[in-house]
Structure 1
Amino acid sequence: MTIRAVMFDFSGTLFRLEQNDSWLTNLTDLDGDPLDIEAQAELMRRMTAPTGQVVQLSEEYQHAWENRDLDPALHEKIYLEVLRKSGIPKVEQAKALYSRLVDPDEWTPYPDTETVLKDAAGKGLKVGVLSNIAFDIRPAFTVRGLDQYVDSFVLSFEEHVIKPDPAIFQTLLDRLGVPGEEALMVGDSEEADGGARALGCAFALVDPLPTSERPEGLLAALRAHGVL
């Protein structure tokens, strides 16, 4: 079946949250000592992991974790707790770091993001972005002029459903006007993004490496499926 639409995940697929050194310079642990490089890297991993529980949680916070991408208030609540349990005990420091996470301007596009979106749209393909997320990512595209290549954004906190539930994939397919058998889903999570297969979509997995280490991951994924 010919691919007529490409659906992209956001975090770890089209964009990645990569800290500026200034974010972490003033962060300290319980003893007031600066976080070492390993602790900084683990902190960023926990803030952006698409699936899986990153710390042990009480029942109250477990609910918030499982529903974090459906409700902005729960999202903030659980990530402040994750940061606390990850060695950031000062609330003001945790809130400052959290504000970076939910600021679309702080996210970095992969080197081939613009090329892939532009080329896909230029070939007449429908392009959609589908994300488990609790904040509006559209400004990250608009500020770089990338929104012109995207036909529809489907965000979990707006639709009240999260991947891998087939319903959220179907929502985007309906808006793009393409059946699942004629769509390709591209994402960094087999568990979440691979859920598109339930609707007959093809699926391409990309590695959520740092942007400097994955210059053509998106291009390779689309070329492997004969899309570009």
Structure 2
Amino acid sequence: MTIQAVMFDFSGTLFRLEHKDTWLSDLTDSAGEPLDLEAQAELMRRMTAPVTLNVDFDEEHLHAWEHRDLDPELHHKVYLEVLRQSGVARVEQARALYDRLVDPSEWTPYPDTERVLKSLADKGVRVGVLSNIAFDIRPAFTARGLDAYIDEFVLSFEVGAIKPDAAIFRLLLDRLGTAPENTLMVGDHEGADGGAKALGCPFALVEPLPTVRRSDGLLTALREHAAL
């Protein structure tokens, strides 16, 4: 089987939101006290690993959570609630932190992201980025010259479908012009990204580790599937 195209997830796969200590140093709880280190760590986990989020939502916010990657307004609304429940009581602080989450310039590529994308492009392998997301991630690629290696972007809020819905994978396959069995899906979540397997795509799982702890995860995954 020849890999003619690769579809990549964004968060935890090609890029990661790496927080800086200064983001959290001025955050205070409802009593005006600084958030302790444990609270800060949990806050960032909730911001960067939303699939495993454990927050008590009312019906209104539950609806917003379930549809957050289809509607930027719902995304903004529910994440402010997540931050409130995570100890960030002051709305202005929550908004400032949220703005960092949706700022493409704040996202860091994994060490092997550029090498992998360029290598695929040099081989003539088509590349797509497929993300459940409510903001435009293209500037994160453009700012680093990585957009030159991407043939197609499919973002959930633009197309009205989210992984693991087969429709969003099928859309990117159609745009890439490749058959499922010749198109590798690479992502950090078995449930969401692994949905491509239902269409017959091979799937490679990578760990969404901090960028300093995952130097060659993408290279390893693609080599294991003979894509590089």
Output the TM-score relative to the length of structure 2.
0.98
Q: How does 1:118-197 map to 2 (within 5 A)?
A: 118-197=118-197
CA contact (8 A) 1:185 1:204 kept: yes
2:217 is matched with 217
CA RMSD of aligned residues (A): 0.8
Name the CA distance, whole Å, in 2 between partners of 1:27 and 1:93: 7
1:107 is matched with 107
Query: Counterpart amino acid of 1:16?
Result: R
Cα deviation for residue 56 of structure 1 reads: 1.1
Q: Which runs of 5+ in 2 are unaligned?
A: none
Q: Deviations over 1:23-46 (max 9, x none)?
A: 111101122221222222211111
Name the CA distance, whole Å, in 2 between partners of 1:11 and 1:54: 19
Name the CA distance, whole Å, in 2 between partners of 1:118 and 1:40: 36
Q: How does 1:1-20 map to 2 (within 5 A)?
A: 1-20=1-20
Query: Counterpart amino acid of 2:71?
Result: D
1:62 is matched with 62
Q: Which runs of 5+ in 1 are unaligned?
A: none
Query: Counterpart amino acid of 1:11?
Result: S
1:82 is matched with 82
Name the CA distance, whole Å, in 1 between partners of 2:41 and 2:109: 19
Report SS of the residue matched to 1:161.
coil
Q: Deviations over 1:137-186 (max 9, x none)?
A: 00000000000000000000000000000000011000000011110000
Identity among equivalent pairs (%): 72
Matched length: 228
Q: How does 1:16-95 map to 2 (within 5 A)?
A: 16-95=16-95
Q: Deviations over 1:193-218 (max 9, x none)?
A: 00000110000000000000000010
Name the CA distance, whole Å, in 2 between partners of 1:5 and 1:50: 28
Report SS of the residue matched to 1:168.
helix
